[in-house]
Amino acid sequence: MGSGDSSRSCETSSQDLGFSYYPAENLIEYKWPPDETGEYYMLQEQVSEYLGVTSFKRKYPDLERRDLSHKEKLYLRELNVITETQCTLGLTALRSDEVIDLMIKEYPAKHAEYSVILQEKERQRITDHYKEYSQMQQQNTQKVEASKVPEYIKKAARKAAEFNSNLNRERMEERRAYFDLQTHVIQVPQGKYRVLPTERTKVSSYPVALIPGQFQEYYKRYSPDELRYLPLNTALYEPPLDPELPALDSDGDSDDAEDGRGDEKRKSKGASDSSSGNASDGESPPHPHGPEDSPQGRPKSKDKAATPRKDGPKRSVLSKSVPGYKPKVIPNALCGICLKGKESNKKGKAESLIHCSQCGNSGHPSCLDMTMELLSMIKTYPWQCMECKTCIMCGQPHHEEEMMFCDVCDRGYHTFCVGLGAIPSGRWICDCCQRAPPTPRKVGRRGKNSKEG
């Protein structure tokens, strides 16, 4: 026999033995402590008697229960919930919500009877409260003289006008705009801002794209300078530098090259516009030094459209040859590779040092594996070491993996600035050396250099 059957048999036996009926109105629910922090409880003795269970604690051991304190017994005695004899006994309190759940699950008839009693008590409480309020109103009723009614009306109107005035002033000074919680729109007073004409604000058929790729009438207008940064076939300009980076200025005397900078800018951009086929076949743009060497140059409109940005000349002048340029002279300089001066190189022979025009690092040409032709060429312009090397086209040192160097003049170029897809294998000569190679210092090697160019 299961536990349910045993409980039914126990309940039936208790009824057969003639237990007295315990009415539902005697089952009291109270709050302890009586302040706001209190919780509602019922006495276990009353609950067990109402439900007809002899050993309530043994049958329901999982319910939360506690013993009543002396103050709590006195409080219940004042409410006439228990008698003086019960105050001396040990009473147990149960949480009222757990008792209600128990009655709903196992004693639905008892719960229905108790619910009716609760509704009647609540109705009686509301009625008593209304009666008390009516009595207080009757006691506190003051007779108003008829002669003073107009004065009271004027006083009330004056106070209402004062309140409205203060409210409007506060709105104009402190709360001019407010946030609408329903539409999430900030509402502002009308008439304080310029309003566009209706034809300018008319909504079209496709004002905004709701899904990616959907048609819309809005489009961004790009200036010619902005388009040169975009990869239309090949980007003409490099990404702009961080404005916090300092501009690279030449240490050499570059005042003599100011007059020819306009032509140099146009023709250096002409070189970047050329395709990779032109660079590999030898058909390169004109030499940037001297407009007289450009018989097959581009039209003027093309030259104007290909003008680089403003900071281009400041950076590209570092690598361009300057007429009358004299290499930097640093006394007591040491080679960065062999750590020796001009008195001795790594082979123990005296050799003059070359110096970077930007950082001042020095090195022996033999330690840098430079030929005599290359040495004579780098002395004609502000030469840069490997750490400071910048592209002659864009004047930027970024993208080192795409940087390549001319085998004749050691100038640096980005592959994308000259229209090449990758760094070519073998010997590579820049357009400046192909079109107009400078005259070497040694007469005996002139023909060899011209053939190589």
* pLDDT of 324 above 90: no
282 pLDDT more than 80 = no
Could you tell me if 14 and 52 are in contact, meaning their C-beta atoms sit under 8 angstroms apart? Answer: yes
Considering only 70-84, 148-162, 250-264, which range has the smallest mean pLDDT? 250-264
Domain boundaries for CATH 3.10.260 within the chain: 15-115
Domain with CATH 3.30.40.10 in the chain: 255-289+301-324+383-452
Identify whether the C-beta of residue 446 lies closer than 8 Å to the C-beta of residue 439: yes
Residue 422 near residue 358 (C-beta atoms within 8 A): no
For residue 283, is pLDDT > 60? Answer: no
- d(CA 343, CA 350) in angstroms, rounded, equals 4
- φ, ψ at 217 (rounded to 5°): -85, -10
pLDDT for 184 equals 92
Helix locations, 274-334, DSSP H: 276-281, 300-305, 312-316
Q: For position 247, what pLDDT does the model report?
A: 53
Per-residue model confidence (pLDDT) at position 338: 86
Mean pLDDT estimate for the chain: 74
Better-scored residue on pLDDT, 342 or 324 = 342
Looking at residue 142, its pLDDT comes to 63
pLDDT band at residue 177 using 50, 70 and 90 as cut-offs: confident
Q: Looking at residue 391, what DSSP letter applies?
A: B
**Bigger pLDDT: 327 or 10?**
327
Q: Is residue 371 predicted with pLDDT exceeding 50?
A: yes
CA 172 – CA 157 distance, rounded (Å): 23
44 within 8 A of 21, measured Cβ to Cβ:
no
Whole-model pTM: value is 0.30
What is the C-alpha to C-alpha distance for residues 13 and 4, in angstroms, rounded to an integer?
14
pLDDT higher at 290 or 423 = 423
Which pLDDT score is estimated for 246?
A: 59
Q: Please give the DSSP secondary-structure letter assigned to residue 413.
A: E
Helix boundaries (H) for 207-281: 224-227, 261-273, 276-281
Q: What is the pLDDT of residue 294?
A: 36
Q: What fold, for 15-115? A: Mlu1-box Binding Protein; DNA-binding Domain (3.10.260)
- pLDDT for 124 equals 92
Q: Which residue has the higher pLDDT, 412 or 452?
A: 412
Confidence of residue 373 (pLDDT cuts 50, 70, 90): confident
**pLDDT surpassing 80 at residue 311:** no
**What is the average pLDDT across 375-384?**
85
Best CATH choice for the domain 255-289+301-324+383-452 from the list 3.40.50.1980, 3.40.470.10, 3.30.40.10, 3.40.50.300 = 3.30.40.10
d(CA 57, CA 137): 50
